[in-house]
Chain A
């Protein structure tokens, strides 16, 4: 991943973050809320190589750490999403080209969402945070992944097109 593409993706993630915080969070979806930000970030990471996925994970995490309503220490999301980026990229390599396997992409992003939220909770426990009742957290995690599962098919086309547009000529070659 070139640094210019990392910058463009950071800008996209920043606008997505604003949209998530000001609009998507306002919608009272049944079960629990949906993180469009996380779904698109995981989709972008799945299409990248290891280097790109890790960089995207870190940038995406830092942006998420700026959330004013976050009660976790600054840097926790960056840590979680850097690790998730690495795991996503390593597993993505073994799966192959996602653009030819849309269903695999949907399941992969959904599983990534579950994994990310559980990792976030696990780090919270390690840092001595009060995560609340386990049942409530399970509803939150699986509710979010349910909405991710529903929206991921739409996101595949968007993320593929976005990536194709931002690729440099050197990366295309």
Chain B
């Protein structure tokens, strides 16, 4: 390259770097032009994202479905046989059904807590331009959404509203490394801080020096002043491992979140919470399962199925009789 051209490009680099630094300074000093430009982009992108979301929603979880294929193989076989004739409509129907089920769960949890919520569909996820973990939802300021409102799924907390435009909002997920939430161990009054780690696992630091953490301890949100950004009593996660290292004043633990942040289709934004703290009433309760034992009877070709809530070892005796 000629020396003239090289000098020209160097000068250009310097000019553009100075321009960039000028823009960064403006932004850090809180000039509203840069902030409003992003808000305008969000308003512009929201309808496009909403449209694309309908097409990409089934494709979006394609790879995670492959990852979990072995777990759902038997379920898939059953579904395949039943839905063969509806193959063309299946993708969209299943998607809508899934969203409805999630919405039902979200409204159920919100109803138990007495929260006034606005339901929203997830229309975007993350971005190419940031390392932070976010989702875009199709509800904005016209729906009553404001910054720093709590966002929940059908099983617990999801994150907080980070920015709002007229028809869409960006939610900072609780898995983001910058996310912090005050939590309480259900059943005790021990409080701590939960840190996002970039995955479905979280780090819990207990603030109470005399408090102890046990495996499977359930955590609920502690709540913030005026319920912003966090409402109290929402299930957050449960302890899966306690840090045994000595030398720290308080105990630490690894926590697994209740909400599956990779499979969010519908969420709710809490716009109003009840006066009192719902305490531990929103903690997910284990569903009772019925165990079915198949017992062979005297006849060589007949078998009867009995259902029992507790395992009773009767099968072996009856089976040996049948052999005789």
Contact = CB atoms under 8 A, between A and B. Distances in A.
Contact of A33 (B5, B52, B126): B126
Interface in B1-60: 1, 5-6, 8-9, 12-13, 16-17, 19-24, 26-28, 34, 37-39, 41-42, 45, 48-49, 51-53, 56-57, 59-60
Contacts of B62: 27-28
A136 interface: yes
B26 A74 contact: yes
A92 B36 CA distance: 37
Nearest to A129: B178
Q: How large is the interface on B (under 10, 10 to 19, 20 to 34, 35 or more residues)?
A: 35 or more
Interface string A23-45: 11111111001011110000000
Contacts of B131: 120-121, 124, 131-132, 137, 140
Contacts of B16: 54-55, 57-58, 78, 82
Contacts, number: 186
A69 interface: yes
A66 B63 contact: no
Interface stretch (A14-22, A149-157, A164-172): A14-22
B199 A61 contact: no
A73 B130 CA distance: 11
A131 to B, nearest CB: 6
B37 A50 contact: no
A142 to B, nearest CB: 13
Interface in A41-99: 49-51, 54-55, 57-58, 61, 64-79, 82-83, 86, 89, 93
Given A69-B126, A79-B20, A136-B177, A50 B56 contact: no
A83 B52 contact: no
A170 to B, nearest CB: 15
A83 B20 CA distance: 11
Given A28-B64, A74-B38, A79-B24, 5 more contacts: A33-B126, A68-B45, A71-B130, A71-B132, A73-B27
Interface of B: 1, 5-6, 8-9, 12-13, 16-17, 19-24, 26-28, 34, 37-39, 41-42, 45, 48-49, 51-53, 56-57, 59-64, 67, 124-132, 134, 136, 162-163, 165, 170, 176-178, 196-199, 262
Give the 9 A-B residue pairs with the shortest CB-CB distance, closest first: A132-B177, A75-B23, A136-B198, A79-B20, A68-B42, A74-B34, A50-B9, A67-B129, A73-B27
24 contacts: A18-B48, A21-B127, A22-B51, A27-B59, A27-B63, A28-B61, A28-B125, A28-B262, A36-B128, A51-B8, A58-B20, A67-B38, A67-B128, A69-B124, A73-B23, A74-B26, A74-B37, A74-B38, A75-B21, A75-B24, A75-B26, A76-B20, A130-B177, A132-B178
